[in-house]
A = this chain, B = another copy of it.
Amino acid sequence: MNVDGRLARGQRTRTAVLDTAVSLASASGLDGLSLGHLAESLGVSKSGLFAHWRSKEELQLATIDRAVAQWQERIIGPALRTPRGVRRIHALHDARIDFYAGRVLPGGCFFATTEFEFNARPGAVRDRLAEVFAAWTAFLERLVAEAVELGELPAGTDVALLAYEIDAFGIAAAMRSRLLDPEVTYRHARLGVLNHLRALCPDPALLPEGPS
């Protein structure tokens, strides 16, 4: 194996810190998250954090990467394990709402919170968030395009528009679920996309039945 105990310990600490950072930042934002609070809630000294990241911005960037990995594991992974086409689109959206409803993160959605926090502040963090968001959008559009290619959506479908609509239902869910009734919000988020896909898809058997 040849594992270096020192490096292993560092890696363990690093991921533990980043997991907590993602969690805290989902509620307070990446700027609202202070190194003092982060260190304290980990039972670690503040200066210890600087052994792993040379500045707060570096830690913020690392936190974003960690959140991306979590998103990939929790939302994109499950979707990729279902067959291409409208079923995969639906699975992706459903996994997203499950993620919000499962209250995995105290703030609901790391990306929604941080992207609104930084969308008007120039800098490396904003640029990275914009990249991540662009990649997410491209992924969603690819899924929609695949469904069109498979004939599960009409040939003339506006791919980018449909992707926009699906993502909009997700973003709105992240926001409303914390300020209004969560259950009603999740029902709307799921039903909105399901209705929309069902209205477009010529084969009704590909999508679940009732409004459930």
Contact = CB atoms under 8 A, between A and B. Distances in A.
Interface of A: 26-29, 31-32, 106-108, 112-113, 115-117, 119-121, 126, 129-130, 133-134, 137, 158, 160-161, 164-165, 167-169, 171-172, 174-176, 178-180, 184-185, 188-189, 191-192, 195, 199
Determine chain A's interface SS by DSSP, over half rule.
helix
A119 B178 contact: yes
Task: Count copies of this chain in the complex.
Answer: 2
Given A28-B121, A108-B119, A184 B171 contact: no
Nearest to A188: B164
Contacts of A164: 172, 176, 185, 188-189, 192
Given A116-B113, A116-B116, A121 B168 contact: no
A134 B179 contact: yes
Contact of A168 (B106, B169, B195): B169
A111 to B, nearest CB: 10
Contacts of A32: 31-32, 117
Given A113-B116, A158-B191, A165-B192, 7 more contacts: A31-B32, A129-B179, A161-B195, A164-B192, A168-B168, A171-B172, A171-B175
Contacts of A184: 160
B188 A27 contact: no
Contact of A161 (B120, B160, B192): B192
